[in-house]
């Protein structure tokens, strides 16, 4: 028997090597009495000597692999097998570690992607609340409207800023088909309201009454007699011409020159004027300059037509007229301030009525 075993030794070694190179089932690595599945192939080396023992016996004895119920000594083949099993165990452990590492890396990559997506979503979320330029403009308009509704400084009424804010709001409501209450306007008030198409800062203003100027006290002094007289004459002619069409260039040049002479004369008298007198005179001359600039427009005649002068007996009618003609309010000229304050009150009343009606409208 021993000679036959010796002859088989090389074959056994090869078999052991082949066995060792194949992946080991988990049960081989487990010690301590865990039962090996019965479906596993039997060991390639038949344990004929221990016939009937095999795995079943080892497990049945509760000792596990390699620890039989009897302390037998390992022969060389058993040592090979044991070593091969250990190698297999190490190999399996290595593979498991690699797989776990791969899983961990994959998990990390997914996490990074999620983080990036979350960051992008967060940015989108931020942007969703951030108004764009148009939204900002609308917000600004709304803020300005609120200010114009709620007791704005008088200077904003007289500069027509507050009136134009309210005008825009009313026009918007009209386009939605909402008409407010009948807020009456007096003809006298409308006579003192200036309108512009936006091409000039001021409106007809001082050119009303056929260009007959109402000079302030400070400019009625004899010092200014000459220039004042020339301005009165030239302006009357220019306004008359403006009703029909463009004003002659020579006349406009004369008006501009006279206005500048008045400015210089007023500056020359500054030492003999109180601050309020100087401001009053300067302001009037500035308004005169704006009016002369309006006369320089080629289609100046439209400013004197009925449709370009404030019309209507109610706020709604006035706004409709302005909407039709594409007009807005121009700043008040000296002496018209109180009429602007009165019109502002009427516009606020109408706007409040509109707001109430809009709130009562059923929502679609």
Partner 1 sequence: MSRRFQGALVRIFATLVAGMLAGGGLLNAEPAGSRPVVGHLVSKAGTLFAREKPGQDWKSIAAKGEVHDGDLLVGLPGAVLTCANRAVDLTLLTDFNKNSPYPVLEAAVVLHASADHDLDFTLDRGRVDVINRKKEGAARVRIRFHDQQWEATLAEPGTRLALQLYGRWAKGVPFRKEPGSKDVPAADLLLVVRKGQVELKHGSCYCPMSAPPGPAFLHWDNSGEPEEAPQKLEKLPDWVATEQADSELAQRIKKYIERFRRQIVKSSLREAVRAFVTSEDPYERRVGVITLGALDNLEGLGEVINGTKYPDAWDLAVVVTRHWLGRCPGQDQILYQRLLDKRGLKPVQAAGILQLLHSFGDADLAQPELYKMLVKFLDNDVLGIRGLAHWHLVRLVPAGKKIGFNPLDPKDKRDKARDQWKKLIDDMLSKRELPPKPSAK
**Chain positions contacting partner 1, by CB under 8 A:** 147, 150-156, 158-159, 267, 270-279, 282-283, 286
**Least distance in Å: CB of 262 to partner 1?**
14
User: Which helix (H) or strand (E) segment is 195 a member of?
Assistant: strand 195-196
Q: Which of 231, 294, 293 is nearest to 262 (CA)?
A: 231
Please tell me the distance from the alpha carbon of residue 298 to that of residue 80, in angstroms, as a whole number.
Answer: 114
H or E stretch at 232: helix 225-244
Q: Which is nearer to partner 1, 191 or 283 (CB)?
A: 283
| Least spacing, CB of residue 313 vs partner 1, in Å | 30
**Residue closest to 34 by CA, chosen among 20, 55, 53, 52:** 55
Write down the least CB distance from residue 275 to partner 1, Å.
5
CA–CA separation, 244 and 302 (whole Å): 9
| Nearest distance from C-beta of residue 319 to partner 1, angstroms | 24
Closer residue to partner 1 in complex, CB, 158/308? 158
CB of 296 to partner 1, least distance (A): 20
Instruction: Considering the complex, state which of residue 175 and residue 274 has its C-beta at the smaller distance from partner 1.
Output: 274
Q: How many Å separate Cα 244 from the centre of its chain?
A: 49
Q: Quote the least distance from Cβ 255 to partner 1, whole Å.
A: 20
Nearer to partner 1, 222 or 306 (CB): 222
Summarize the chain as % helix, strand, coil (round to 5): 70, 0, 30
Residue 27 or residue 282: which is nearer to partner 1 going by CB?
282
Nearer to partner 1, 284 or 308 (CB): 284
Backbone angles phi, psi at 329, to 5 degrees: -75, 145
Measured distance CA(308)–CA(326) in Å, rounded: 10
Residues in a beta bridge with 195: 329
CA distance 171 to 18: 94
* Least distance (Å) between residue 271 CB and partner 1: 6
- Interacting residues of 83 by C-beta distance below 8 A, sequence separation 6+: 20
Question: Shortest Cβ distance from residue 357 to partner 1 (Å)?
Answer: 26
Helix boundaries (H) for the chain:
2-21, 26-29, 54-60, 76-129, 133-149, 154-158, 161-175, 187-191, 225-244, 249-268, 275-295, 315-325, 337-360
If the CB atoms of residues 275 and 364 are measured against partner 1, the closer one turns out to be 275
Cβ nearer to partner 1, comparing 104 with 279:
279
Q: Which two tokens stand for residue 324?
A: 């039709």
Q: Quick one: which H or E segment has residue 164?
A: helix 161-175
DSSP state of 313: S
Smallest gap, in angstroms, from Cβ of residue 133 to partner 1? Answer: 21
Bridge partners (DSSP) listed for residue 184:
314
**Nearer Cβ to partner 1, position 39 or 271?**
271
Coil vs helix vs strand at 202 = coil
Contacts of 59 (CB under 8 A, 6+ apart): 33, 34, 35, 36
Q: For partner 1, give the closer residue by CB, 168 or 286.
A: 286
In whole angstroms, the minimum distance from the beta carbon of 112 to partner 1 comes to 51
Instruction: Report the alpha-carbon distance of residue 166 to residue 345 in Å, rounded.
Output: 11
């Amino acid at each position: 028997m021993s000679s036959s075993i010796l002859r088989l030794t090389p074959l056994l070694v090869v078999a052991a090597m082949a066995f060792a190179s194949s992946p080991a089932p988990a049960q081989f690595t487990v010690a301590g009495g865990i039962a090996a599945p019965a479906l596993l192939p039997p060991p390639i080396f038949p344990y004929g000597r221990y016939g009937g023992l095999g795995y079943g016996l080892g497990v049945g004895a509760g000792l596990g692999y390699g620890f039989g119920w009897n302390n037998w000594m390992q022969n060389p083949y058993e040592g090979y097998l044991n070593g091969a099993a250990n190698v297999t165990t190490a190999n399996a452990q290595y593979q498991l570690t690699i797989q776990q590492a791969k899983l961990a890396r994959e998990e990390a990559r997914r996490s990074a992607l999620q983080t990036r997506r979350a960051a992008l979503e967060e940015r989108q979320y931020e942007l969703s609340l951030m108004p764009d330029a148009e939204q900002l403009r609308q917000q600004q308009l709304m803020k300005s409207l609120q200010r114009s509704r709620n007791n704005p400084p008088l200077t904003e009424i007289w500069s027509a800023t507050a009136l134009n804010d309210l005008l825009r709001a009313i026009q918007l409501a009209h386009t939605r088909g909402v008409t407010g209450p009948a807020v009456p306007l007096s003809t006298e008030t409308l006579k003192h309201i200036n309108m512009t198409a936006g091409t000039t800062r001021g409106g007809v203003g001082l050119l009303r009454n056929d260009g007959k100027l109402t000079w302030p006290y400070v400019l009625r002094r004899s010092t200014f007699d000459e220039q004042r007289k020339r301005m009165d004459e030239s302006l009357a002619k220019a306004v008359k011409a403006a009703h029909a069409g463009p004003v002659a260039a020579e006349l406009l040049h004369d008006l501009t020159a006279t206005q500048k002479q008045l400015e210089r004369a007023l500056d020359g008298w500054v030492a003999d004027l109180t601050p309020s007198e100087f401001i009053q005179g300067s302001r009037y001359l500035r308004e005169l300059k704006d009016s002369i600039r309006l006369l320089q427009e080629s289609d100046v005649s439209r400013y004197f037509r009925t449709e370009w002068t404030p019309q209507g007996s109610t706020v709604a009618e006035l706004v409709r007229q302005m909407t039709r003609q594409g007009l807005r309010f121009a700043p008040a000229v000296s002496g018209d301030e109180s009429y602007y304050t009165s019109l502002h009150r009427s516009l606020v009343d109408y706007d409040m009525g509109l707001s109430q009606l809009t709130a009562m409208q059923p929502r679609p």
